[in-house]
Structure 1
Amino acid sequence: MDLIADIILGLGAFGAAVYCLILSRRLKRFNNLRDGMGGAVAVLSAQVDDMTKTLDHAQSAAGESAAVLTELTERAEASARKLELMMASLHDLPDPAAQQPAAPPPDTQPQAGFASTRPADPAPNPDIPVFLRHGFMEAAE
């Protein structure tokens, strides 16, 4: 009986050795850097490293852009407050059209030696804001 048990134990050990040999060969082919999964894992690892660096760079650039945008927004709000104060102070000024007598119409004839193709400016309208009263210059052709 001991002899049969030893033979069965020897056959089991031999079977396990053959199984380990087959697994070893498959694992070598699997980890091959040229054709197997090892190459794919190496490439993916390199890509992950590159993407991590790119992400870090993008985050730092976004942080800088946010800081610049915040600064510009604060400057714009300060300028808007100043403009609102200026507009409010304009309401305190007396109306210039009501205080001055009517001016004679401007001379529409060009002065001697000057050729003007621009029509004479109409009288200022107090209902139009100051920054829109000014005429626009046209480019020479």
Structure 2
Amino acid sequence: MNHTYLTLTDRHDRTPAVIPGASVPLDGALLRNMTYALLLHNNTLPTLAKFWKAADDLAHGSTTDSDLAVLKEVFAATPMSPGIPADNQATMFMALTCGDAEWPHEVEGYGRPHHRRPREVAAHRGHARQHLGMRLLGQAR
């Protein structure tokens, strides 16, 4: 299964496939995002298996009616808006759950220990999340 997933995502990274009726192609990033979303619940695992088959068929240029049905099902809950990256939801999730902590800009900063007090870290994270939210709303540059 791991080999199938890695092969499939690599193929879509190299050559994104057109999803009938969608405004963005199925590339490796979108495939990873949808795989993650479908792995969250046991009841969506059969849909994930069908989605991988459909993705494989898309890559080979031959979709079946069953493939089109599962693609419609999978992408119906995730409308794709022009100008919004397809992996935007996954990117936001990672940004918020990984702490939004600022990293040193100078290479030398990685060679010495940085000890921040908990209040300083919390204050920085709050500022970073606020800035990120404003960027998503188009209010910050």
Same fold by TM-score, threshold 0.5 exceeded?
no
TM-score range, shorter chain: under 0.3
Structure exhibiting the larger radius of gyration computed from Cα positions: 1
TM-score, with structure 2 as normaliser: 0.19
RCO (CA 8 Å, sep 6+): is it higher in 1 or 2? 2
TM-score, with structure 1 as normaliser: 0.19
